[in-house]
Amino acid sequence: VNVLLDQEMMSSPDNKLWFHPLTNEATMQVSADALFKLIAASRRVPTLMDFAREDAAAAVNQAAEATGAADAKPAAPALNLSHDEAQQRIWDRLKAAGIETYREENPDLDVTRPTGHSTHNLFVKDKKTKKMFLVTVRQDTDVNMNDLAKKLGVKMLRMASGAKEEFCHERGCITILHLFNNTQGTITPVIDSRLLAADSLRICTGCENPLDHAQHNVVDIKPETLRAILAETSGPAMIELDFAEQ
């Protein structure tokens, strides 16, 4: 089942939506954010559409046709972009969402992890199945790889390589935003559920050297906007875990 959502309806996490679950005799109200989480729990990736467009009907039909053939065709092809082109693709998408990338003023250059950033990210894979994950936790979190492997139901996790092949990335920070360029959907996002409860997240969108904190290109993005952007890829549903339990 393909899920199509009106992007205006989902534009704010606090939007109130009314549904008739079973019959017209009873209604229920949920927020846009709660609806996103409900769909994610079913491991589906919703598509946001502008139904005010003149060609909206044609777009819906096209999506329906794609859904009908989903079992018969592979995921979207991988991008064939240079590092700089892939970086610009992320910036362009963020700009389209009204989010500007910027450089931080007077960053602390003596720390290992950049001060003020919301996330710390690990690109890992299961040693046995080779399944890949991009794990995004809070900046102050240290991940126990053995415990994480158990939570994900895999045998053993180790750091992954192949960022160039997976999302056209050759240097600098790898963050959850880079999954926007994993159009082939080979990487499963794993995120600390506490991050999704935050009002806003400060995330590096790309840089030349992850240890040089003077040149991070960052954005401040709402979790629901991040979720919507990632939903545009053909990747697996986001896995939410509580890393506070580690």
Minimum mean pLDDT among 62-76, 107-121, 172-186: which range?
A: 62-76
54 phi and psi, to 5 degrees? -65, -30
**44-99 tens-digit pLDDT:** 666 766 666 555 555 555 555 554 444 433 467 899 999 999 999 999 999 999 99
Q: What is the per-residue pLDDT across 138-172, written as a single tens digit (0 to 9) for each? A: 999 999 999 999 999 999 999 999 999 999 999 99
The pLDDT value recorded for residue 73 is: 37
Distances (CA, A) of 94 to 1, 84, 91, 220: 28, 15, 5, 10
How crowded is residue 93: how many other Cβ atoms within 10 Å of its Cβ? 16
Residue 216 pLDDT? 96
Residues 195-205 have a mean pLDDT of 97
pLDDT band for position 181 (cuts 50, 70, 90) = very high
Q: Are 173 and 216 in contact (CB under 8 A)?
A: yes
Mean pLDDT confidence for 23-47: 71
192 contacts 243 by C-beta, under 8 angstroms: yes
Q: Tokens in use for 90?
A: 């992320």
According to the model, what pLDDT value does residue 30 have? 84
Residues 6+ apart with CB under 8 A from 182: 166, 167, 233, 235
Better-scored residue on pLDDT, 130 or 21 = 130
